[in-house]
Structure 1
Amino acid sequence: MPTALPVTLDRESEVPLAVQLADALRKSASNGHLRGGDRLPSTRALAQRLGVSRTVTSAAYEQLHAEGWIAGRRGSGTYVTTSPPKDRPAHPALPGAAPETDDLLDLSPGTPWAAGIDRAAWRRAWRAAADAPPLTRAPRAGLPEYRAAIGEHLLRHRGLAVGTDSVVATGGTTAAVVELATSVLAKGDVVAVEEPGYQRAVQVMTAAGLRVVGVPVDEQGMRPDGIPSNARAVYCSPAHHYPMGARMSAARRVELVERARADNLLVIEDDYDGELRFDVAPLPLLAALAPDVVVHLGTTSKILTPTLGTGWMVAPSAVTSAVLAYRDHTSIRPAPAGQRVLVELARHGDLGRHLRKLRRELAERRALLVGALKAANIAVLGDDAGAHLVVPLASAEMERDRLAAAQARGIRLDGLARHFAGKPYAFGVAIGYAGCSRESLRHALTVLVRLLC
């Protein structure tokens, strides 16, 4: 028997109580709350529970018995006889939602090497994080210990010297862009973005009412001379452009900073995987070159896992003040649980060890992939960095054909065309090599080479 029947009687209604009760029980049997074989309370027990006379419950049971919804068994009680129809309406699936899992080998970019995380260290970090007492209020700027750990991480792995008070915890780079678009920028402001570029950031800016203008990207990164004169901000990924994989040259970095200072531009630097360089040391950050005009954004999603849901922001004081004021007004806070786990991983040296192992692993995977492609005279774009590379193609039709052919052979790739906010002018496939096992990647090489020749 269900522990609680969803029955509410309105004593002010003109509908008799017995009819209300019968309707409620009938609805419960129709929607699955009550199922065939469930035992109902006796008329006396139900009357006491609802605070009505037994006449009301008896009349309701008699009506349902006549309709065939319930039946009495001598010496046993009253039971529901009918289960809900199998084709009853269900809540609709999310519009346009793709299956979370399928049988395809996922070689699309953006997936981290989560399988490489040391599981013993992972469990130890979660246990230690759970030892901290539950919070009554999440700090608006993030846990102090998390901000200190990120400050140390930025100094060791990105060469950026910042104090704990300069770091603001975020829910990741996209979440940070949402906050900047809402709290720092205003509706109608023009934001220059890389074209092609990270479309999730473009979408959240557009949703916030900003006017997004694409700026061409070449082998030296974004072209500062393409930034419109009325731009209020610039969004870019200078260390490792997404998705083309280029680095912004030193000359263009200087040009961008000078333009930002001259025109009062805010530069949003998305450093989504800047720790992952294999040829040289990680490139210096724009935030180190111009902390007065640059907002630096980082995330744990690419170097560890999206499970943590954590990121960080380092920005001029006026920007951080606006973001924190926005959090005060909205009560939005980054979740502390992932912050605590990151703190424990950093405290025991597990974060540093994982990054060293990650760089070695991805460098070897990239070399394996690049070697196979170049041996077949297939062009490859992108620096020796990150977790994906690009194979250029001549047309949109070729891109669509290669993506469809790969899927038919059990492999999911990504195309360049969807990374344009405007009309695409470059085509190709982006291949991620972090999310799968090395064995799976090796087995896929023959198929990839045959498809892309």
Structure 2
Amino acid sequence: MDLHVSLAGRGDLAARIYRQVLDAILDGRLRPGERLPPTRELARRLEVSRNTVAAAYERLAAEGFLEGRAGAGTFVGGGRVPGRTTPADPAGKGPAGAPGRTGAHRAPGGVRPRPLWRSLPSPVRDDAQAGPPYDFRVGVPDPELFPLATWRRLVARELRLSAVRTAGYGEPAGHAGLRAAIARHVGISRSVRAEAEDVIVTQGAQQALDLVGRVLIEPGDCVAVEEPGYPPARLLFRSLGARVAGVPVDAEGLRVDAVPSAARLVYVTPSHQFPLGVPMSLRRRAELLAWAERRGAVVVEDDYDSEFRFGSRPLEPLQNLDRDGRVVYVGSFSKTLLPMLRTGFLVAPASLRPALREAKRLTDWHGDVITQAALARFIDEGLLGRHVRRAAREYAARRELVTAALRRDFAGLLRLVPSAAGLHVCARLAPDAEVDVEAALARAGTAGVRAESLAGYCGGTPVQRGLVLGYGAVPAGMIEEGLHRLAAVLRPS
């Protein structure tokens, strides 16, 4: 491993080398078992005598931080190194007591982000961590349902040597085969009117929203979102400098009469509103499109989880009803497959395509070509449709268990919000129920149950209280016991 050592400043050279190698070991940049450069090589790079480097190494070895292996070299010792919060300052840094490093970070102060980035809330959950036994997180699919063997075969096929040899920078809009496959897929399954040239492949739906925001939003512009709604979208638009206005939702979806007249962009989830689950009525869809045409606004239609339907026939998407080129349709494979694949897409009107492609190029040039090519084959060979049908049967069974338990065990406490799609359900607190939802969820955590509060999806003061329960991450056999435990902590003692 290349090791950077600075000899700036005054003092004994061997002591400075010793101190900087020691700092690298103590703060974890050099890990146990890692090989250090030979003394001759490091001396040549630093333009010092070999004896100088050897003296530093010998001192570290005597203290147990390094060990020599005959014929192999010098390595960081494998023993446990006592941790400390502030590694010693590099030699020559300054007088004793001068600020140094704290771990791998510089001392407080210095460069700071814009105030906006200090004000954005941190996520309340960490999806990278393993969940509790009874995990009712929202928006998490079951990885056990993912067809891993099939996916491994498709990826291996795309990683053949001939493909790697010809690989260069890809098309910013995404793999041509995947764009065509997505256009066919959403055309058949969702009646979206799209050709391959209308599709831009993104790193999940969140990047699709980011690209739309970059292209359309000026600092100070008004963006309307549903209230309650999807927090990552709300925070993203805020990060772009928008004034975000929450618009109430009722049994027909977004209340178009409450959308601010100054709104430049309206973000909606009409297939099944997130997180309540209600679909936007056909009347409201027509009203929203007419409003957007009058105001010269853009509607972003997030059609999340639309593949998993368990009831009535879905209404036409806004994109299909749009005749003025004002709807950007956004989708993702995070819930149908796995979030870690980070593959989403948008279908854009012709007037926005050049700008969105350029925004994608400037953001990250293009996504993972191997994953995109494998997904194109996965769709074209009918494997996605097969997987969705299999997963939908499993999720339908879990959904039935959740809704039955809510009606049985939570009577008088919660009222289920009608919905017919997705991987979660929402239940509002009954008007006369005296329950501190947040405190109850904290107690549920000690019982091995994780669920989410409806209040967490509100941008302002919550006007609705209740629970949002996902069933993608919890096995069917654990649903009834998990909800029984949750009911126990919600019931007043």
Quickly name the TM-score band, shorter chain normalised. 0.7 to 0.9
User: What residue is the counterpart of 1:307 in the other structure?
Assistant: 340
User: What residue is the counterpart of 1:175 in the other structure?
Assistant: 207
Q: 1:8 to 1:153 in 2, by over 3 A?
A: same
Pairwise CA distance, 1:319 = 2.0
User: What residue is the counterpart of 2:284 in the other structure?
Assistant: 252
User: What residue is the counterpart of 1:380 in the other structure?
Assistant: 416
Pairwise CA distance, 1:245 = 0.5
Letter in 2 for 1:356: R
Contact 1:29 1:83 in 2 (8 A): no
Pairwise CA distance, 1:322 = 1.6
Pairwise CA distance, 1:283 = 2.8
Query: How big is the alpha-carbon RMSD for the aligned residues of Structure 1 and Structure 2?
Result: 3.5
Pair 1:111-2:140 in alignment:
yes
Aligned length: 446
Contact 2:142 2:473 in 1 (8 A): yes
Distance in 1 of aligned mates of 2:78 and 2:398: 58
Contact 2:179 2:197 in 1 (8 A): yes
Question: SS at the partner of 1:431?
Answer: strand
Indicate which of 273, 287, 301 corresponds to 2:305: 273
User: What residue is the counterpart of 1:338 in the other structure?
Assistant: 371
Q: 1:37 to 1:385 in 2, by over 3 A?
A: closer
User: What residue is the counterpart of 2:448 in the other structure?
Assistant: 410
User: What residue is the counterpart of 1:87 in the other structure?
Assistant: 83
More deviation, 324-333/361-370: 324-333
Letter in 1 for 2:143: A
Contact 1:35 1:83 in 2 (8 A): no
Pairwise CA distance, 1:234 = 0.5
Q: 1:23 to 1:281 in 2, by over 3 A?
A: same
User: What residue is the counterpart of 1:419 in the other structure?
Assistant: 457
The superposition leaves residues 157-215 of structure 1 with CA deviations (integer Å, 9 ceiling, x where unpaired) of 11123111111111122111111111222111101110000011000000100111111
Contact 1:47 1:54 in 2 (8 A): yes
Distance in 1 of aligned mates of 2:349 and 2:79: 62
Gaps of 5+ in 1: none
Q: Structure 1 length as normaliser, TM-score?
A: 0.86
Question: SS at the partner of 1:252?
Answer: helix
Pairwise CA distance, 1:347 = 2.5
More deviation, 204-213/163-172: 163-172
Distance in 2 of aligned mates of 1:356 and 1:68: 60
Pairwise CA distance, 1:37 = 10
Letter in 2 for 1:293: R
User: What residue is the counterpart of 2:393 in the other structure?
Assistant: 360
Q: 1:211 to 1:103 in 2, by over 3 A?
A: same
Q: 1:404 to 1:39 in 2, by over 3 A?
A: closer
Contact 1:307 1:338 in 2 (8 A): no
Spell out the pairing of 1:179-328 with structure 2 (5 A cutoff): 179-290=211-322, 292-328=325-361
More deviation, 166-175/358-367: 358-367
The superposition leaves residues 14-65 of structure 1 with CA deviations (integer Å, 9 ceiling, x where unpaired) of 5454444444444455556779999999977875676544554566578779
Indicate which of 179, 192, 195 corresponds to 1:160: 192
Distance in 1 of aligned mates of 2:67 and 2:378: 61
Question: SS at the partner of 2:416?
Answer: coil
Pairwise CA distance, 1:82 = 11
Contact 1:107 1:433 in 2 (8 A): yes
Distance in 2 of aligned mates of 1:130 and 1:82: 37
Contact 2:427 2:466 in 1 (8 A): yes
Q: 1:95 to 1:110 in 2, by over 3 A?
A: closer
More deviation, 324-333/187-196: 324-333
More deviation, 334-343/151-160: 334-343
The superposition leaves residues 382-413 of structure 1 with CA deviations (integer Å, 9 ceiling, x where unpaired) of 31211111121147953223322322321100
Q: 1:375 to 1:85 in 2, by over 3 A?
A: closer
User: What residue is the counterpart of 2:425 in the other structure?
Assistant: 389
Pairwise CA distance, 1:328 = 3.5
Question: SS at the partner of 1:109?
Answer: coil
Letter in 2 for 1:425: V
Pairwise CA distance, 1:148 = 0.8
Pair 1:435-2:432 in alignment:
no
Q: 1:24 to 1:425 in 2, by over 3 A?
A: closer
The superposition leaves residues 353-394 of structure 1 with CA deviations (integer Å, 9 ceiling, x where unpaired) of 111122222222222222232234352113121111112114
Contact 1:141 1:324 in 2 (8 A): yes
Distance in 2 of aligned mates of 1:419 and 1:175: 20
Pairwise CA distance, 1:293 = 0.9
Distance in 1 of aligned mates of 2:192 and 2:33: 67
Letter in 1 for 2:335: K
Letter in 2 for 1:101: A
Question: SS at the partner of 2:245?
Answer: strand
Pair 1:133-2:129 in alignment:
no
Q: 1:145 to 1:447 in 2, by over 3 A?
A: same
Q: 1:446 to 1:317 in 2, by over 3 A?
A: same
Q: 1:275 to 1:24 in 2, by over 3 A?
A: closer
Q: 1:358 to 1:28 in 2, by over 3 A?
A: closer
More deviation, 152-161/239-248: 152-161
Contact 2:272 2:422 in 1 (8 A): yes
Distance in 2 of aligned mates of 1:343 and 1:202: 31
Question: SS at the partner of 1:317?
Answer: coil
Q: 1:5 to 1:353 in 2, by over 3 A?
A: closer
Contact 1:9 1:17 in 2 (8 A): no
Contact 1:70 1:81 in 2 (8 A): yes
Letter in 1 for 2:3: P
Question: SS at the partner of 2:273?
Answer: coil
Percent identity over the alignment is 34
Indicate which of 402, 413, 423 corresponds to 1:369: 402
Pairwise CA distance, 1:154 = 0.4
